[in-house]
Amino acid sequence: MVNDVGAQLRKGVVEYCVLGILRRAPAYGWKISEQLVELGLIGSIGTLYPLLARLREQRLIVAHADESDSARPRKYYTLTPEGREQLEQFRRQWEPFAVAVDRMTALE
């Protein structure tokens, strides 16, 4: 059986990509999924909601309802201070990690 290397790589970083999206501004699920799908980080919106639930359970994000007059209010997600710190820890470790992997897997 052949492993899907891309799927394994995405699984390891997609949560941090969501935190990165929310660092810029609060966003609702559909908007988050559009960005992730466009970049090939998730296959569909259906895979996003369990991920958002895990991030909420870890207290890295919070959800709140849109207060607009729309018939169906949207649930917006916001990064918590803990989520911001987790993202910064990831960012500090990502570049050295990527450099090390490149070095180890280089064809030279």
In sequence order, what E strands does the chain have? 27-28, 61-65, 75-79
pTM: 0.85
Asked if the model's pLDDT at residue 32 lies above 50, the reply is yes
Read off the pLDDT of residues 38-97 as tens digits, 9 standing for 90 and up: 998 998 888 899 999 999 999 999 999 877 666 677 899 999 999 999 999 999 999 999
Number of domains composing the chain: 1
Q: Write down the pLDDT at residue 3.
A: 63
Residues paired with residue 27 on neighbouring β-strands, in sequence order: 77
Q: Are 60 and 84 a contacting pair, CB within 8 Å?
A: no
* Residue 84 belongs to domain with CATH number: 1.10.10.10
Q: CA 98 → CA 40, 66, 94, 106, distances in Å?
A: 19, 38, 6, 12
Give a yes or no: residue 5 inside a domain.
no
Give a yes or no: residue 2 inside a domain.
no
Give a yes or no: residue 1 inside a domain.
no
Give a yes or no: residue 56 inside a domain.
yes
- Domain of residue 48, residue span: 10-105
Give a yes or no: residue 62 inside a domain.
yes
Give a yes or no: residue 41 inside a domain.
yes
